[in-house]
Amino acid sequence: MRLLRYFLFRLLQMFPIALFIVVINFALIHLAPGDVSILLAGEGADPEYMQSIRESYGLDRPLHEQLGAYLGQILQGDLGLSFRTREPVIDIIAERIPATLLLAGTALVLASIAGVAIGAVMARRPGSALDTAVTTLSISLFSIPVFWLGLMLILLFAVTLRWLPSSGMVSIAGPREGLGFVLDVVRHMILPVTALAAVWLGQYVRLSRASVSETLAEPYVTTARAIGFPERRVMTRFALRNAMLPIVTVLGLELGLLLSGAVLTETVFSWPGLGRLIYEAILSRDTPVIMGAFLIMSFTVMLAALLTDLLYAALDPRVRL
């Protein structure tokens, strides 16, 4: 009950943000140099198509009406047409989402679990040589440009050692079903997931190290030790349980950052996801697709923030309206 009310409240709060993002998008197209209709239809589009774009966006009408029309379109899930393929942007994007989810999701799960575990262990011996070394290492990890790390992994494992495929999600002549297909995808995933997870791992180790060592200094941990709980239990039930709260918050807030890493990784590995799509759109100056991708990414991040809020509220009984 408490959670439901909280969820609805947070959901309501998201509307102005969504509106803000749409307005930014709208403002940017109109501020950008060049004719809006050319931006949306593509250079050298035939006059007929150009005219249909003008009409559907209401480009001859005053600005506020245009904004209204634009909002209306987005509410209907209409993000325009790609001028490269003339397909609806929303369909093109939807097609790419599963691949991105698979890549980013796997890396996220691996990196966060390993990161929290390593960080928690380091928090037990703060200031030790190992702790300093791990901290330095994890800072270095998230200082690596993820696309470069990807290239280096390709260079080592695909080009030099020839152990793993360097690009794509499936082999061209590989199996299309059953276990063989799954294994094929897994083989293709190893390098991009490693690149992405390595960079995030650095973030999570730092985050969890800071957060767990903070909770270990809390009075309730001293109480737990005075009661006589074994240190393992103090660590899990008291320290980690409470440390999860800030960890979850930051996880949610940094999702935008994570997605940008995913886009760059996909580009390197020609992973057929959203990132690859954005890259192709940039190369062919396909503005509607870039705009649509920005909107979808923004809404995804908002949705994730909402889910983390909910998770936070479930973890922390102090959260109330």
Partner 1 sequence: MTPTAAKTLRATVASVPGALSLAVFLVICATALAAPILGLPDPADMAFALYQPPSAEHWLGTDNFGRDILSRVVWGAQVALTVAVGAALLSILIGSALGAIAGYFGGWVDGLLSRVFDIFLLIPTFFLILLIVALFGASLPLTIVAIALTTWPRSARLMRSQVLTLKSRVYVQAALAAGAPHWWVIVRHVIPNGIAPIITDGTILMGMAILTEAGLSFLGLGDQNLVSWGSMIFEGQRHLRLAPWMSIAPGVALLLLVASLNLLGDSINFAMNPQLRTRGGAPKRRATTAPPAGETAPAADTPILEVDDLRLVYHAGARRIAAVDGVSFTLPRGGSLGIVGESGCGKSSLGSALLQTMPNNAELTSGTIRFDGRAIVLGGKPVVENGRSRIDALRWTRMATIFQSAMNALNPVTTVRRQMMDALRLHKPGISREEATARIAEVFAMIGIPASRMNAYPHQLSGGMRQRAMIALSLILEPELVIADEPTTALDMLIQDQILGEIADLRERLNLSLILVSHDMGAVAESCDVVAVMYAGRIVEIAPTQRIFGNPAHPYTRTLIGALPSLTGPLEELESLPATDTAAAAAATGCRFAHACPAATDLCRRAAPPAVPLGAGHVSECHYAEDFAAEPSSEPHAAPAAAKEARA
Burial class (CB in 10 A: 0-12, 13-18, 19+), 214: middle
Quick one: tokens of 171? Answer: 């082999």
Residue 191, interface with partner 1 (CB under 8 A)? Answer: no
Query: Given the complex with partner 1, which of 97 and 185 has the nearer CB atom?
Result: 97
Q: Which of residues 215-274 bind partner 1 (CB under 8 A)?
A: 215-220, 222-229, 231, 234-235, 237-238, 241-242, 245, 253, 255-257, 259-260, 263-264, 267-268
Residue 88 dihedral angles phi and psi, to the nearest 5°: -60, 135
Beta bridge pairs of residue 88: 81
Residue 108, interface with partner 1 (CB under 8 A)? Answer: no
Chain-centroid distance of CA 271 in Å reads 15
User: Are 224 and 238 spatial neighbours (Cβ–Cβ below 8 Å)?
Assistant: yes
Query: Given the complex with partner 1, which of 82 and 242 has the nearer CB atom?
Result: 242
Q: Which of residues 75-104 bind partner 1 (CB under 8 A)?
A: none
Beta bridge pairs of residue 81: 88
User: Are 209 and 122 spatial neighbours (Cβ–Cβ below 8 Å)?
Assistant: yes
> By rule CB under 8 A, what count of residues binds partner 1?
88
Residue 161, interface with partner 1 (CB under 8 A)? Answer: no
Name which position in 73, 88, 110, 126 contacts partner 1 (CB under 8 A): 126
Chain-centroid distance of CA 216 in Å reads 30
Residue 315, interface with partner 1 (CB under 8 A)? Answer: yes
Query: Given the complex with partner 1, which of 112 and 287 has the nearer CB atom?
Result: 287
Residue 134, interface with partner 1 (CB under 8 A)? Answer: no
Q: How near is the Cβ of 92 to partner 1 at its closest, in Å?
A: 16
Residue 39, interface with partner 1 (CB under 8 A)? Answer: yes
User: Are 48 and 37 spatial neighbours (Cβ–Cβ below 8 Å)?
Assistant: no
